[in-house]
Amino acid sequence: MKQARVAWNGTVTEAEPLDSGRLLLPDGTIVDEHEVMWLPPVEPRTIVALGLNYADHAGELSFAAPKEPLFFFKGKNTLIGHRGRTVRPAGVDMMHYECELAVVIGRPARRVKAEQAYDYIWGYTIANDYAVRDYLENYYRPNFRVKNRDRTTPLGPWIVSHEEVGDPMALALRTYVNGALVQEGYTGDMIFSIPYLLEYITSFMTLAPGDLILTGTPKGAVNVQPGDEVVAEIERIGRLINYIE
């Protein structure tokens, strides 16, 4: 199952992909992907994000790999859809993309054991979790201005079901800026796996259907500028396009 969420003809609706590259709406209408406004494919109550979950990314930022998961929360204000536009703040020196596998929770999850983790997952989508490094305060407390700016986390285009994706710990991640490959990684290189993360988080808090876990990004942080097209791609999930202005 592969599902998007779009606005078309004044209505917010689900959409499915067709082989032609067009979209099928629930009432049978077929539209071109450029005719709709793409929305985040899910409306989460809670967004839990993970920092430094790839040792190579920690290294490029001159941090040691963490011994336990480094979490922070993100607001829903940060989310935008496929083909959305993200503003680079004036006067900053370093703003970079972060291609991340996002886990979408499928049913209430509390005290989940790692071996049952996938029973609680609806599916997966792509997040591009932009960071403005100028505002980073320290290792343990990502500043709100780094990770909670409006419209700085493109999400989508699709939620792809767990059954269709298969093993989420065996996916290639790539990012392209203006068509050039600038980031490449593999989910199997995560320090903390998805089952481990779900057990860890739900040991002290409940996750609800539609909640998100952003699982971190591999190395390859490159500064982006207004006018850039950034494409975050994850194997078996799709390509998330975003523009910087």
Chain segment 154-171, per-residue pLDDT in tens: 999 999 999 999 999 999
Q: Please report the domains of the chain, with CATH numbers, ordered by start residue.
A: 1-38 (2.30.30.370), 40-244 (3.90.850.10)
- Residue 63 C-alpha from the chain's centroid: 22
User: Whole-angstrom Cα distance, residue 42 to residue 81?
Assistant: 10
For the segment 131-140, the average pLDDT, to the nearest whole number, is 76
Residue with tokens 């390859």: 220
User: Whole-angstrom Cα distance, residue 242 to residue 224?
Assistant: 11
For the segment 195-209, the average pLDDT, to the nearest whole number, is 98
- Write b or e for each residue in 52-89: b if 16 or more Cβ atoms lie within 10 A of its Cβ, otherwise e: bbbbebbeeeeeeebeebbbbebeeebbbbbbbebebe
pLDDT digits (tens, 9 = 90+) for 74-131: 999 999 999 999 999 999 999 999 999 999 999 999 999 999 999 999 999 999 999 9
- Tell me the average pLDDT of the chain: 93
Q: For residues 146 and 161, which has the higher predicted lDDT (pLDDT)?
A: 161
The pLDDT of residue 57 is above 80: no
Q: For residues 144 and 42, which has the higher predicted lDDT (pLDDT)?
A: 42
Confidence of residue 140 (pLDDT cuts 50, 70, 90): low
Residue 241 is predicted with a pLDDT of 98
For the segment 209-218, the average pLDDT, to the nearest whole number, is 96
Q: How many CB atoms lie within 10 A of CB 6?
A: 23
The pLDDT of residue 209 is above 90: yes
User: Whole-angstrom Cα distance, residue 155 to residue 166?
Assistant: 20
Q: Which of the residue ranges 39-48, 141-150, 154-163, 178-187 would you say has the lowest mean pLDDT? A: 141-150
